[in-house]
Amino acid sequence: MFFKDAIDRMRAQREREERRKRAGKFILGAALGAAAGAAAGLLLAPKSGKETREQIASKTSDAYDTVKSNLDETRQMLSDQKEQITDAARRYVEAVKDIPEAAEEKESESASDESKGKKKK
């Protein structure tokens, strides 16, 4: 039962990680799409070249800042997830290591219970 619970927890953690990755990709795609749309709008607007270049520079800077912020957030989220997964894997390995010891203890207890039962007779 313990293994099934541990495997289910790891599977759920993996699914959460996948959803977060997809969300990060969506945010990045939305930011890049917004930047491309803004640039296209500026290029097609009836303004002077200087004004258009200034707007493009401004919008590009804003888009860069947004993408950089999203990237920093995604890096932090992935770092946190890496720590969580590493901790979960470490706990799982420790639990698996404890199984033979627990089995030996249980066998010892069973053997001592049997020997106590024989002595009572």
pLDDT for 113 equals 66
Q: With the CA atoms of 53, 54, 60 and 61 taken in that order, what torsion angle do they form, in degrees rounded to the nearest 10?
A: 150
pLDDT for 17 equals 86
Among the residues of the chain, which ranges form H helices?
2-44, 49-120
CA distances from 54 to 32, 61, 82 (A): 19, 11, 41
How confident is the prediction along the chain (121 residues), in pLDDT tens digits per residue? 677 787 888 888 888 888 888 888 888 888 888 888 887 877 777 777 788 788 888 988 988 888 888 888 888 888 888 898 898 888 888 878 777 777 777 777 776 666 666 555 4
Long-range CB contacts for residues 47-53, cutoff 8 Å, separation at least 24: none
- Reading the block at residue 54, the tokens are 């200034």
End-to-end CA distance of the chain: 36
